[in-house]
Amino acid sequence: MTDIAYAKKWAETRQNDLAAHRELYAAAEDFVIEGRKVNDHLGDTISTDAEFEQDLALWTDGRQSMTVTEAFAGNGHLMIHWDYTVDADTYRGLPTDGKTLSSKGSTFLQFDANGKIILESTFVNENPLFQQLGLPIITPHYWEEGFDPSSLG
């Protein structure tokens, strides 16, 4: 299977078949999924079958989706880039007013010697989502030559 084919299988099973998705991962307690980014480290990881089933179920409700766009492999790792779409009444408690929101996401996977996932770190760029909801979030390109911090007001 090619890197992009594996990445698409990973995304497809996450959204449509959690049992098949679970088969991609190492045994319970031998894998970790980081994706919630909270202060308490115990609350921001998934490493048991119960957590896997409970915390990833939100991907199967049809209100959000990921479409793989790129995959880069090397040294037992795979970096996946994907388009992210939200079609729900609310996002993070904010009303969407019928808007379909979109942004980008990425997932880093590390594999064991048997080809099972032992580490996943997933990130969604939420700033564009909040901007689409009308929140005044600025995203300056401060790395560009000539950027003037005083332009931020």
- Residue range(s) defining the domain that contains residue 54: 3-152
Q: 65 pairs with which residues across the strands?
A: 85
Report which of 124, 60, 70, 130 is spatially closest to residue 95, judged by C-alpha positions: 130
Query: Into how many domains does the chain fold?
Result: 1
Q: If we measure between CA atoms, which residue out of 100, 97, 117, 95 comes closest to residue 108?
A: 117
Give the CATH number, domain containing residue 104.
Answer: 3.10.450.50
Whether the full predicted model's pTM is greater than 0.85, yes or no, is yes
Kindly report, residue by residue over 10-60, the tens digit of the pLDDT.
999 999 999 999 999 999 888 888 865 555 555 567 888 888 888 888 889
